[in-house]
Amino acid sequence: MFFPERFVLLVLISVLSCGIKCQENFCNADKTDCNDVNPKILQISCDQIEEPIVLQKIDLKKEDSPSSSKMFFIESSGRDHLLIRQTCAIESAVRNSKVDQFYVVMTSPNLNVTANNATCQLFKRYSNVIFRHVDLDVLFEETPLQELHTAGLLKRKVKRKKNEVVGYDKTKLTTVNLSDAIRLVLIEKLGGWYSDLDMLFLKPIVEFKNALGGDNFNEKLADEDPNYLGEKLSNAIFHFEKGHPFIQKSLKYFPKIFTGEWGSGGPSVFQKSLENVCNYQQIPKMMKNEVNAENCQGVTVLPPKYFYPRPWMFANALFDKLTGDEWDSLFKDTYAVHFYASSSPTRKILRPKFYGKKVPAYSYLGVQHCPISFFSEKTF
């Protein structure tokens, strides 16, 4: 069969164009053919890895390289691998944040790379993702947290009786309190970004220095008043330079404020430190004209929706089903989305095909920003 030269040329141009444009088009949430993984993104084999991998301990002197920007993630449960939403946080940070190096700091001394495909892909694919074991005895030595650690109080929850604290429950391990403590020491000693493992990064964040935000805010005020920064801080994601006064004050306040209850070593400590560096007795509402770098020893409180497009009390709204345009509207000012894993640990996300035009946020964002993790299992 004869084909005119013009027809052949048009076909060739079309094929080449798609080859260039379609490589990164793993899946679009508005399509209905998003059930199958693109084999190109999972092409690295994990069959030849011997386990367990004994992790190198983090060395606070060797890791201290001011020439490279750093981000720290902490796995403090003792688990020897990452869950797929945790790998999504790291993968999206590698793709979008423009930070140079990413440290995954684990209380487990070993890394089980074959526990799931997402952990394996992350470990083998990215040379700037560095897994380290943290020796807590060494980390907390000669810090204000050493006594709490030695007494084992960072690993216990408080006992309550009629709303009164009556002691510590030795049978209940809380990973949150331990993580709150670890992140403070790491950032004070090394500087850089800290991020929870339930974030999903959308944009570069390297423009922000000595910065953090709050997840407790009035959405209407946040939308209408650019001066309004929220009610209270969160410690889910933040950046501080090595030895910054805010982090040093947080370490000092930690043993005074910490009770073993959720948040007592995190948001409560940060709020007290903010009041101190801003020279306020109390900050009932954070306003930009009062709480800013000039007034607060270089600390910048960012607009809440930069990292928390929905406040923590409405965390479940991120699992509502919306169209792509609706999600884009919600995230228009957002650099990273906090998904509040403690509020939704068991809610599985399907691939977009099973939802149609309206999908949960993870299903919309995952295919674009962490496709390796998103497609590593049938449900996310």
Task: Decide: helix, strand or coil at residue 256.
Answer: helix
- Residue 270: domain span: 36-374
- 3-class SS at 269? helix
Residue 339 lies in a domain: yes
What would the pLDDT profile of 34-64 be if each residue is shown by its tens digit? Answer: 555 555 555 566 766 666 899 999 999 888 8
pLDDT at 48: 67
Residue 13 maps to a domain:
no
Neighbour count for residue 259 (Cβ, 10 Å): 15
| pTM summary value | 0.87
Please tell me the total count of domains within the chain: 1
Per-residue pLDDT reduced to its tens digit, 216-255? 999 999 999 999 999 999 999 999 999 999 999 999 999 9
Residue carrying the six token digits 């209905």: 32
Is 11 within a domain? no
DSSP secondary structure letter of residue 377 = S
Sign of the CA dihedral with 89 first, then 105, 144, and 192 last: negative
Q: How confident is the model at residue 123 (pLDDT cuts 50, 70, 90)?
A: very high
User: Does residue 4 have a pLDDT over 80?
Assistant: no
Any idea what DSSP says for residue 171?
T
Q: What does the mean pLDDT of the chain come to?
A: 87
| Domain harbouring 108, CATH code | 3.90.550
Banded pLDDT at 170 (limits 50, 70, 90): low
Amino acid at position 197, single letter: L
Say whether pLDDT at 185 is over 50.
Answer: yes
97-125 mean pLDDT: 94
Q: Tell me if 20 is assigned to some domain.
A: no
Note whether residue 4 is domain-resident: no
At which residue do the structure tokens 């995952």 appear?
A: 366
Structure tokens at 288: 């930009």
22 in a structural domain = no
69 occurs within a structural domain: yes
Residue 293's pLDDT is what?
98
Q: Is residue 76 within 8 Å of 182, Cβ to Cβ?
A: yes
Q: What is the pLDDT of residue 146?
A: 97
Q: Per-residue pLDDT for 172 more than 80? A: no
**pLDDT for 38:** 57
What is the predicted pLDDT for the residue at 34?
A: 52
pLDDT digits (tens, 9 = 90+) for 324-338: 999 999 999 999 999
pLDDT above 50: residue 189: yes
78-104 pLDDT tens trace: 999 999 999 999 999 999 999 999 999
Percent of the chain clearing pLDDT 70 (strictly above): 82
Instruction: Please tell me the predicted confidence (pLDDT) of residue 41.
Output: 57
pLDDT classification of 163: cutoffs 50, 70, 90: low
Mean per-residue pLDDT for 127-152? 96
Residues in the chain: 380
The answer to the question of residue 7 being in a domain is no
What per-residue confidence (pLDDT) applies to 347?
Answer: 80
